[in-house]
Structure 1
Amino acid sequence: MAEYLSPGVYVEEFDSGAQPLEGASTSTAGFIGLAQRGEIEGVPQLVTSVADFHRLFGSYLSENEFGDYRFLSYAVEHFYLNGGSRCYVMRVAPSDAKLATNQSSGNKEASVLRITSKNPGTWGNQIRVVIVPSSKAKTQIYEVLEGNQYRVKNNAGFNVGDVVAFEADGEKQYNKVLSSQDNIIKLASELDGEVVDANLLPAKVLTTCEFTMHVFYGDEAETYEKMSLNISAANHVEKMMARSNIVTVKDISEGKDFGAVSPFEVLSGEAETTGKFQVALSGGSNGSVANLSAGDFMGVDRGPGKRTGIQSFIDNDVVSIMAVPGVTDPNVQLSLVAHCENLGSRFAVLDIPRDKTKVADVMTHRNIFDSSYAAMYNPWLQVFDPLDKRNIYIPPSGSVIGIYSRSDQTRGVHKAPANEVVRGAVGLDCQYNKGEQDILNPQGVNLIRHFAGQGIRVWGARTTSSNGLWKYINVRRLFIFLEESIKNGTNWVVFEPNDEQLWARVQRTIDAFMTRVWRDGALMGGSPSEAFYINIGRSTMTQDDIDNGRLICVIGVAPVKPAEFVIFRITQKTREE
């Protein structure tokens, strides 16, 4: 309760109406697969366009090197081509993939700094690092004091442990800072000659010795200025380079004291007058596809921020549709389906092996699964390959997820993502006829077919579930949308007093949201009362529930089902009728 201690007027705010409840996103995709570059451990990376994907994960992969595991980049491209808006991507790499490093170069800097590519792959062999001398501070000396101490104009930027150079008449004397305070700098040894210069434009200056590192990879360039080998300084190379997206730098000198030697000379073995020193990385490897296993895609849970493969998406609560494009190993696909079922907030799109085109072979693969959180599509799509400049066949999952996203944005999640044109596809790996679909469709295999004058279309909207209540994709995804929206929008209820007033507020909040969903056409019924019901209060909770902190709200929903079979019954009309 507020305190009222002095006379006056008090204005207070309080919530009395329903809390607005916002619908959850259903069109954010998640992809897992091989790529040229990118982190293989941690959290999936947000990708907002094809160009963004190429910047983070590299370009297309060759068939000769990666075979049937190369389809991630094509799937992401066709996801956006078919209307996708955003996705998260996690890279997988063979166990023998290696980082590019400077350790194999034999250069002097390799004994001081270990420079490696940010992640494994031959892409790291194209990284070039250029080191040039630089300085972060300079000043002039006003007075020579006892004990190698000098009073300077400004000691800002001169840190304990920094290497400095005193330059006069074109010559340099190198020294080391022992203390720096109140414009008095103490050096390790005495400077030779006349060092005092009080002129307005000094000819003799004391400067710090640092180096600048330029990192180049393709069109990408990073510059890190005025870095030091002084481990106690804020501009130590390891601290500064932690921001790099191209390389990782580790100081392996173990705090060794290099004396009064400029860091550029320590790294290059050459005088600062050389101007620059170039380092080339080598030894990066993509690894062998033969060393890939289902476990690489399924991933390992090493704790927060260290998960790999499918497991890395546990840390992501945004993704709602997932695929491992082109990877049809049952172990990987079952792991993906289990991941979606356990979280209950996402849906898996599965590919069928390309060599399984006969109905019996397709059914053999289909019969492995029984889940309302997954859908299966066949056949593969013929598209243009920008790498080989020819048409190739790619798995349909990327294009289909793009169609999911497009349908969600144009019509809503309640619309079955079927009878939609597949953009970017010029052909199919095989053409199924109606008789073959009569067998596959009831079993939950969604075919992609070519119709004369109508292009290539997704011609199925079924899950892989044997439960008739959940046989349609849009029904399951509608419930995912409702559940996530209600969960995200009712956090304010937690720890509120569990009484009639709270029950009424919760009912009003959900009623307003469900009414909006009904008006959007996602629910059956001519009125809200026919489309849904909300029960909360004594009819859903016992005193034991209330005593144990449980608020139970029961919501009944009548989802719309797709008109999968359109039947027109025609008969002759006689005059007597």
Structure 2
Amino acid sequence: MADYLSPGVYVEEFDSGAQPLEGVSTSTAGFIGLAQRGPTCGLPLLVTSPADFHRTFGSYLSESAFGSYRFLSYAVEQFFTNGGSRCYVMRVAPSDAKPASNEGRVSEALSIAAKNPGQWGNLVNVTLSPASKAKTQIYEVTDKRYRVKNATGFYAGDVVSFNDGSGELQWNRIVSVQDNVIELAEALEGDVVDTALLPSKVLATSEFTLQVVFADELEVFEKVSLNPEAPTYVDKVAGRSNLVDVRALTATTDSEAPFATVTGETEGRVSFVLSGGSDGSVENLAASDFIGEDRGPGRRTGIQAFIDNDVVSIMAIPGVTDANVQLSLVAHCENLGSRFAILDIPREKTKVADVLTHRDLFDSSYAALYNPWLSVFDPLDKRNIFVPPSGTMAGIYSRSDTTRGVQKAPANEVLRGVVGLDVQYNKGEQDILNPAGVNLIRSFTGQGIRVWGARTVSSNGLWKYINVRRLFIFLEESIKTGTNWVVFEPNNDQLWARVQRTIDAFLTRVWRAGALMGNSPSEAFYIDIGRTTMTQDDIDNGRLICVIGVAPVKPAEFVIFRITQKTGTE
């Protein structure tokens, strides 16, 4: 309670009503797969358009080199074509993939390597040129200490050159800088004082400019040095690069410029191309590359990298149908409880019996299977190719969530950008596959190509529909995120009432949006909190227990019209 010590009027604010609870997004996808370039370790990167993906992860991969592992770029493009707005992408690379690096004279002093593995690094061009960030004239000399006009830009450890006006340069190194007094390692020779308005004798720093070019990307790091104490140290400045990793292997010397130390040249420009980059071979890919490693926060790979991401709600590994990988993805979604997996079926498994064999590997309400593969245009080969449906379906999930809401089953939706199907299934075949939890994509005369199934791969009848599971993910994550303010509040009747009002207002809004059954909120949900849900032992141990029941809407999967003949006597 505040202290009131002197007379006066005090105005205070306090919260008396329910905290507003906002629903979380359910339309953000997460993709994992092979790409031309991009980081293979760390946090998944946000992508907001196909162009954004190509800027970060490169172009399409060739079928001859990558085979069935090349579909990430097509899946992301299909995701945006079908209504997706944002996704996170994590790249996977074969174990024998290598980053390109520099060779020759420069590599002895400066290590420059492509930011991540791949042949793309062999196209990175690097140019070095001499530069200077600061120069000044000398006013006064005291032994090795020189009072200058302006010491801004001069740092201890910097290599400097003194030009006496004749073109002859004396090289030296700064020991210390204080105010406008610079102390050098060695005394300069001759008369160095110049007080003229336009001086001919100049003391200047010596650096070099690093320019990196890849395709239409240009990065310029101006006036960098080999002095670890300077803010222009090449390791610090070039650390911002999206193309290369730069590391100095040598320090400054008193006898020559950093440009000469690095290149062996005293003037001009030195250009070279990185080499040795390799995409690796698909033969060296294993399920463990996609499953990833848990190396700690910010250093995870593959599926494990998405542990650090709490935004994604839809997951897919396009075209990768290895059972170990898919089961790991499903387990990831189940463990976190906040995302849903979209799985592909191997393209060669088209017969009903073969499809069922693959489907029998799974039993989860956090995953759905789709078949067959889809025909889309390939900008790389300038022809139609077949791609896995997971990327397209992720886009449809996102589109349906945005236009109708997560309670709407992502089915009976038209597939955009799809010109054909790998297999045309008929009603009889779907009569077998649909009850088993395999969602087919079918072509209907005059209605285009549509998703014609909305089931999970769960054997539990309560969770057989995709929209029911995703609705509960939405409710659970929204309530969890929106009630963080409750933690460490006094666990009493006032708090219970506030929590009930908060959740009641949120669920009423969800019911009005058509996500819950019932003609009134009381029919759609109930909230129970207080002495009926908590014992004194719960309260003593810091537990607040709130029981919530909701009645989700189910899709009208089977529409039945019963028609009979009406006779005149009836």
Per the normalisation by structure 2, the TM-score is 0.99
The letter for the 2-side match of 1:39 is P
Alignment correspondent of 1:173:
170
Alignment correspondent of 2:48:
48
Is 1:575 the counterpart of 2:539? The answer is: no
Is 1:292 the counterpart of 2:285? The answer is: yes
Q: Distance in 2 between matches of 1:69 and 1:559?
A: 38
Superposed counterparts of 1:149-548, under 5 Å: 149-167=145-163, 168-253=165-250, 255=251, 258-272=253-267, 274=268, 276-548=269-541
The letter for the 2-side match of 1:27 is S
Shift of 1:189: 2.5
Shift of 1:191: 2.4
How much is the aligned-residue C-alpha RMSD, in angstroms? Answer: 0.9
Shift of 1:411: 0.2
SS of aligned partner of 1:399: helix
1:143-186 CA deviation, whole Å, 9 max, x = no partner?
A: 232x2322211122211111111122333222211222232222
Contact 2:159-2:253 within 8 A present in 1 as well:
no
Shift of 1:193: 3.2
1:388-424 CA deviation, whole Å, 9 max, x = no partner?
A: 0000000000000000000000000000000000000
Alignment correspondent of 1:15:
15
SS of aligned partner of 2:223: strand
Shift of 1:542: 1.1
The letter for the 2-side match of 1:112 is A
Alignment correspondent of 2:82:
82
Contact 2:350-2:372 within 8 A present in 1 as well:
yes
Q: Distance in 1 between matches of 2:106 and 2:529?
A: 70
Q: Distance in 2 between matches of 1:501 and 1:69?
A: 56
Contact 2:207-2:224 within 8 A present in 1 as well:
yes
Q: How many residues align?
A: 569
The letter for the 1-side match of 2:156 is V
Per the normalisation by structure 1, the TM-score is 0.97
SS of aligned partner of 1:371: coil
The letter for the 2-side match of 1:512 is A
Match of 2:559 among 541, 544, 566: 566
Q: Distance in 1 between matches of 2:527 and 2:173?
A: 76
Alignment correspondent of 1:148:
144
Give ranges in structure 2 of 5+ residues lacking alignment. Answer: none
Q: Distance in 1 between matches of 2:494 and 2:452?
A: 49
Further displaced range: 225-234 or 499-508: 225-234
Shift of 1:260: 2.3
Deviation >4 Å, runs of 4+: none
Q: Distance in 1 between matches of 2:263 and 2:439?
A: 62
Contact 2:101-2:112 within 8 A present in 1 as well:
yes
SS of aligned partner of 2:31: strand
Further displaced range: 6-15 or 26-35: 6-15
The letter for the 2-side match of 1:328 is T
The letter for the 1-side match of 2:258 is P
Q: Distance in 1 between matches of 2:475 and 2:179?
A: 65
SS of aligned partner of 2:462: helix
Q: Distance in 2 between matches of 1:109 and 1:491?
A: 54
Percent of counterpart pairs with the same letter? 74
Q: Distance in 1 between matches of 2:515 and 2:210?
A: 57
Alignment correspondent of 1:136:
133
Superposed counterparts of 1:56-71, under 5 Å: 56-71=56-71
SS of aligned partner of 2:370: strand
Shift of 1:319: 0.3
The letter for the 1-side match of 2:89 is V
Contact 2:135-2:205 within 8 A present in 1 as well:
yes
Shift of 1:258: 2.6
Q: Distance in 2 between matches of 1:280 and 1:573?
A: 85
Further displaced range: 563-572 or 188-197: 188-197
Is 1:29 the counterpart of 2:44? The answer is: no
Contact 2:171-2:254 within 8 A present in 1 as well:
no
The letter for the 2-side match of 1:164 is V
1:469-523 CA deviation, whole Å, 9 max, x = no partner?
A: 0000000000000000000000011111111111110000000000000000000
